[in-house]
Structure 1
């Protein structure tokens, strides 16, 4: 295991300490995205498996449409909230395990989905594990939520706070106008995860879709979201509180909140 993977594993395990905040503050996923995934997968009654289900931000909209789901979540504190959020859906099963250690046990699924979690899976194994979990023709759906700040002056002021504290890849790092119009371009020129999937060679019908909507966060709601992110969770508590306090000062000085473009990037593929 590389040092990079070990660091990512450590960061992926910080969410459970704020499971309730994560559930309350994190944005969800649009109904249009869920409908697109289900139309592509054409499950026909087959079950789906979700990697890194968290507290169910993506699980619930799929379950509401009757999708049978096996949810893999490594943190027992997150899994507890997930079970609570999905208790009314008898087709949802929660299995507390790391994706890398989880065993399908002879099961094969019609869809593997990962909502803002695929980057945590071991890059040396994730496509092998996905292929092993899927039935022939089974679909992969990976999606995540980049954000861009609409106000350039506000973005500059927040960048000054981030720079003082060595913060990178925060939700306000980018201007909304920087993303362009090409689905998947929010992750830069390397084309991840499409290029990675294409190199694997066992998947076809690769397809990328983008959804966009306006979002406004008042100061308290935005700070709650930031406090649930691994970028902030890994900081010592006193430093985290200082960064959040300075961020709040900037937001309050700019009207008490932040307007953002909320993108939902979706990548689809299926087993040959």
Structure 2
């Protein structure tokens, strides 16, 4: 697992405070695809439990896995009773028990590509569902976005996580749907977008940036400078595009 992947724990409280949660529409979409309610779920890279809460509060028995101890401790403070927690990276989750749903919320790109889908298939019941969802939090106003880009430029060219398989942004099917379509283990791959527009204060927007791995791996002095520069170019409140791209696939019943 990369240094960027393990950079979040030091900011667990900020991650919980500033990162947006997930809407009920996401739960409804996953369950509509499943065709019948999934009773058990395994979550990969659960963070502070933003997605855990969405599923657990609607009757799904969730096992939440997360490699970072600080993130897992924060998760335990917020999730309902009955959520099982395991400190483990995806690669260290022991196969054996299978789940009706396995999902990753803005976390799959931190997993190792080698053997990813065979390991995933070993965790999903035949006919069960795999779901991956997430997306960048972006400034809606192009002029404000340009100003922020210029402010961070001396320290950081980009704060985005590139597509793990190099799929260009405008392609009809985005990663991980591209990999799922090539996988022998999964079928019926679907991609959709839940549109979401948020308003937040400039300070909360910078707080959200403070949880982004590209900033977290900067030296502390540079991180302070870049956040100060960004604050100076932001209006008091900002409009945010936080669309959620959802990928769904079904575990093949037989190989």
Under a length normalisation based on structure 1, what TM-score does the superposition of the two structures give?
Answer: 0.85
* Equivalent-residue separation in structure 2 for 1:147 and 1:223 (angstroms): 11
Residues 43 and 111, structure 1, Cα contact 8 Å, conserved in 2: no
How far the C-alpha of 1:239 sits from its partner, in A, is 0.2
* Equivalent-residue separation in structure 2 for 1:188 and 1:23 (angstroms): 31
- For 2:164, the equivalent position in structure 1 comes to none
- For 1:174, the equivalent position in structure 2 comes to none
SS at match of 1:164: coil
State whether structure 2 residue 224 is matched by structure 1 residue 219.
no
Q: More helix by proportion, 1 or 2? A: 1
- For 2:136, the equivalent position in structure 1 comes to 146
Residues 131 and 249, structure 2, Cα contact 8 Å, conserved in 1: yes
* Equivalent-residue separation in structure 2 for 1:266 and 1:250 (angstroms): 32
- Select the residue among 108, 121, 132 that pairs with 2:122: 132
Aligned length: 246
Which segments of 5 or more consecutive residues in structure 2 lack a partner in the other structure?
162-166
* Equivalent-residue separation in structure 1 for 2:193 and 2:65 (angstroms): 25
How far the C-alpha of 1:43 sits from its partner, in A, is 5.4
State whether structure 2 residue 233 is matched by structure 1 residue 250.
yes
Runs of 4 or more consecutive aligned structure 1 residues displaced over 6 Å after TM superposition: none
Deviates more, 1:119-128 or 1:241-250: 119-128
How far the C-alpha of 1:216 sits from its partner, in A, is 1.3
Q: Are residues 71 and 187 of structure 1, via their aligned partners in 2, closer, same or farther at CA, if it must alter by over 3 Å?
A: farther
State whether structure 2 residue 110 is matched by structure 1 residue 120.
yes
Q: Counterparts in 2 of 1:137-216, with a 5 A limit?
A: 137-170=127-160, 187-189=169-171, 191-216=174-199
* Equivalent-residue separation in structure 1 for 2:117 and 2:132 (angstroms): 12
Question: Can you list the C-alpha shifts for 1:65-124, whole angstroms capped at 9, x where unaligned?
Answer: 0100111100111111111111x332x1000011101103x2111111000000001111
How far the C-alpha of 1:188 sits from its partner, in A, is 3.9
How far the C-alpha of 1:240 sits from its partner, in A, is 0.2
Residues 49 and 109, structure 1, Cα contact 8 Å, conserved in 2: yes
State whether structure 2 residue 57 is matched by structure 1 residue 64.
yes
Residues 147 and 233, structure 2, Cα contact 8 Å, conserved in 1: yes
Under a length normalisation based on structure 2, what TM-score does the superposition of the two structures give?
Answer: 0.91
* Equivalent-residue separation in structure 2 for 1:56 and 1:258 (angstroms): 25
